[in-house]
Amino acid sequence: MPLGVISRLLRSTVSRLVALNALLLVISMVAGALGGWIATRGVVEREARNRIELESHVIAVEADRGGLDRALAMIRTKAERPGSPEYYLIGPDGRTLIGDLQVVPRETGWHFADQPSPRPGIEGVHLLALTQRLPDGSLLIVGEDMERSEAIRDAVFGATLIAGGIALVFGIVAGLFATRQTLRQMKRINVTVRAVEGGDLSARTGAPVHARTDLDQLALAIDRMLDQIDTLVATIRRVSAEVAHDLRTPLTRVRHAVETALAQPDGEKRTAALGRAMAGLDEALRLFSAVLELAEIDAGNARARFEPIDLAEIVDRVVDAYRAEIEASGRHISVRSVRTAVAGDADLLARALANLIENALKYSREHARIDVSVTEHAGTVTMAVVDDGPGVTDGEVEEMLRPFGRLDRARRKSGNGLGLAIADAVARLHRGTLTFARLQPGLAVEIRLPRELAETAALNAHR
């Protein structure tokens, strides 16, 4: 493995976690095996003592009932069995009757007696023995070789260590593989972030659409974020260009009017030229105000000011403000609304409705009828403005909602192309939508708000 790869693996957080888990595995494995070895040692010794006590008791009972000869016969029978304990019997006169122990514990009680091997190079016997005196004065010694039990325990301990070692090796290998995969994904993300840092907003991680890991999910989130940033930057560039384009006309008028005023000796004509200059400045200021308002709405800060409001009251107030102008133009306006409470910003909703009415007033035919309504149906509260103007096609809706978007037939009309964009932003701010419905003839523009907002507002209003 190249040194660079090893260096990256050592610096990786995942590899450090793998190493930490491996260390914890080793510690827990050794501690568990050692604890098991100590615990089983006590268990083995207790079981050995129980067997020795039982053997000694049986032989002592036999000696008491049938004499020393019957006890000796029983010992010979037991000694022939495979895995039997060690027996040693000393008669009342001190003679050894049976047994071949080289180290004989003659004091009564429990003893550990290491028996040397008769052949060199062979390990001796570690004997646990119980010495007791029989009723006739004989000395009975029963012992068990603890090496056999300890060998089994040691084999289990060793097998545990080997299994743990194998698991550790496999864990480390799997961890290194996972670390390399993680480093590969992290490298892809780092390359993308550095490319974006260098100004390439088109860079993407290329993560799979169906994320398999948490890093894939992170990469997908980064890609979605970059898509949004790319869209926002493109929008800012386009809006900046359109603002500059729309400002050119009024500022050119202002310059021309000022130049006329400066060259005009007649006071009245100079005043008229300065008035045109002021009108051009007012038009530029209105454009700036509309752009700033749209940006503030898109920021979403107005949600903190939401309160229960009655849409019917907003409709009545806005329609009353436009009624004189509409009737003076030969058009007619009607209102049909139900009392409906929503949570929102009254001023912004009024501004959105005003923009829709101005749009209908501007593009509807002479003697047209404009209908404004508030309805509630199927979980949706709808505020609509309907006129019998020329209407729009499906392909023109997107252009109308775009900031500064204006249809070709509307370019001879006054305006900056931000009215419907602001209305759409207000609808989205209130978790709603701005929709268009084509009529024959005419157009219905609707701001639809979810009922949940209305129910929340009504609940808060009753508290």
Q: Which domains does the chain have, with CATH numbers?
A: 3-152 (3.30.450), 214-297 (1.10.287), 304-462 (3.30.565.10)
**Side chain identity, residue 398:** E
For the chain, the first-to-last Cα distance in angstroms comes to 70
Answer yes or no: are the C-beta atoms of 97 and 89 closer than 8 Å: yes
Distance, in Å, from the CA atom of 356 to the CA atom of 414, rounded to the nearest integer, reads: 15
List the structure tokens of 20.
Answer: 């930490």
Which pLDDT belongs to residue 143?
87
At 102-121, the pLDDT tens digits run 778 888 899 888 777 666 65
Q: Beta strand pairing status for 369-377 and 332-337?
A: parallel
Burial class (CB in 10 A: 0-12, 13-18, 19+), 182: middle
Which pLDDT belongs to residue 385?
92
Beta-carbon count within 10 A of 141 CB? 25
Answer yes or no: are the C-beta atoms of 411 and 399 closer than 8 Å: no
* Strand positions, DSSP E, 74-207: 86-90, 96-98, 109-115, 125-133, 139-145
Low-confidence ranges of the chain (pLDDT < 70): 1-19, 36-37, 39-41, 117-124, 148-153, 156, 211, 235, 238-239, 241-243, 245-246, 390-417, 451-463
DSSP state of 137: S
Answer yes or no: are the C-beta atoms of 392 and 360 closer than 8 Å: no
Tokens 């040693």 sit at which residue?
A: 88
**Side chain identity, residue 372:** V
Chain centroid to CA 80: 72
List the structure tokens of 380.
Answer: 């949706």
Rounded (10°) angle between helices 146-197 and 13-79: 170
Beta bridge partners of 346: none
Tokens 């849409």 sit at which residue?
A: 311
Distance, in Å, from the CA atom of 317 to the CA atom of 311, rounded to the nearest integer, reads: 10
Concatenated DSSP letters for 107-126? SSEEEEEEEPPSSTTS--EE
Answer yes or no: are the C-beta atoms of 374 and 337 closer than 8 Å: yes
Which pLDDT belongs to residue 39?
67
Q: Is 30 left (phi over 0), alpha (psi -120 to 50) or beta?
A: alpha
Distance, in Å, from the CA atom of 233 to the CA atom of 227, rounded to the nearest integer, reads: 10
Which pLDDT belongs to residue 62?
87
Max CA-CA distance within the chain?
159
Give the CB-side neighbour count of residue 154, counting CA atoms within 13 A. Answer: 6
**Side chain identity, residue 212:** R
Distance, in Å, from the CA atom of 305 to the CA atom of 168, rounded to the nearest integer, reads: 60
DSSP H or E stretch at residue 184: helix 146-197
Distance, in Å, from the CA atom of 389 to the CA atom of 205, rounded to the nearest integer, reads: 49
Which pLDDT belongs to residue 155?
72
Nearest C-alpha neighbor of 143 from the set 182, 109, 167: 109
Burial class (CB in 10 A: 0-12, 13-18, 19+), 55: buried
**In whole angstroms, how far apart are CA 330 and each of 323, 327, 361, 368, 387?**
11, 5, 10, 8, 14
Which pLDDT belongs to residue 320?
92
Distance, in Å, from the CA atom of 61 to the CA atom of 71, rounded to the nearest integer, reads: 8
**Side chain identity, residue 197:** E
Nearest C-alpha neighbor of 307 from the set 344, 280, 281, 337: 344
Sign of CA dihedral 324, 326, 327, 329: positive
Answer yes or no: are the C-beta atoms of 434 and 401 closer than 8 Å: yes
pTM: 0.49
